[in-house]
Chain A
Amino acid sequence: DIQMTQSPSSLSASVGDRVTITCRASQSIRTFLNWYQQEPGKAPNLLISSASTLQSGVPSRFSGSGSGTDFTLTISSLQPEDFTTFYCQQSYGSPPTFGQGTRVEIK
């Protein structure tokens, strides 16, 4: 199985901050990398697919980059609704696997 490692596991930031979350795959997954946001008590929401394709309706402050084994999710200016948990997921091969999550907390 392809292991996905996110860092950091949690971070503290303020409204307006620029935040970067990293996801590393245990082998090359080309650009088959997706990012999700999950609010407490809700299902995950797909933000970015194929490493950098922003989903319809997702604010432009979110962006994704990377290929091969190293990927990043960047939030250019944190908003109050962004203090949630983010997950990466590889869709290169079966089984699809998730990172352990990154919790973004208010500083």
Chain B
Amino acid sequence: QVQLVQSGAEVKEPGASVKVSCKASGYTFTTYYMHWVRQAPGQGLEWMGLINPSGGGTTYAQKFQGRVVMTKDTSTSTVYMVLYSLRSEDTAVYYCARVHSSGRAIDAFEIWGQGTMVTVSS
């Protein structure tokens, strides 16, 4: 079945970076754009950016420009999100989400990872 499996919870100190992985299975990895969405405790959903798993092109939310990098490894059907210069406000659950329609960059998010809790604390 189609699924996205993310890496485990992380605890980081302020100023550090975190790398979250998202392994896809059950479909052709290169044909569906992947996005990252985060959710701070008790808050709503915030879009961070997207990656084209075919060519590797990325688009980042303006808020995270210069602080986030999204990459992909086609050989393992995995996408990665690295967030640098962490601060306490980055404490959140980070989700990868696959779009609904192949080839569409901006679309409904049909498949979600289970989420990765990132805690930033000294």
Contact = CB atoms under 8 A, between A and B. Distances in A.
A105 B105 CA distance: 34
A73 to B, nearest CB: 14
Interface stretch (B8-16, B78-86, B109-117): B109-117
Given A46-B100, A94-B59, A96-B47, A34 B108 contact: yes
A99 B107 CA distance: 15
Interface of B: 35, 44-47, 59, 61-62, 95, 97, 100, 105-110, 112-115
Contacts of B109: 34, 36, 44, 46, 89
Given A36-B45, A44-B95, 14 more contacts: A36-B109, A43-B114, A46-B100, A46-B108, A46-B109, A87-B45, A89-B108, A91-B106, A92-B106, A94-B59, A94-B106, A95-B47, A96-B47, A100-B44
A42 to B, nearest CB: 8
A81 to B, nearest CB: 18
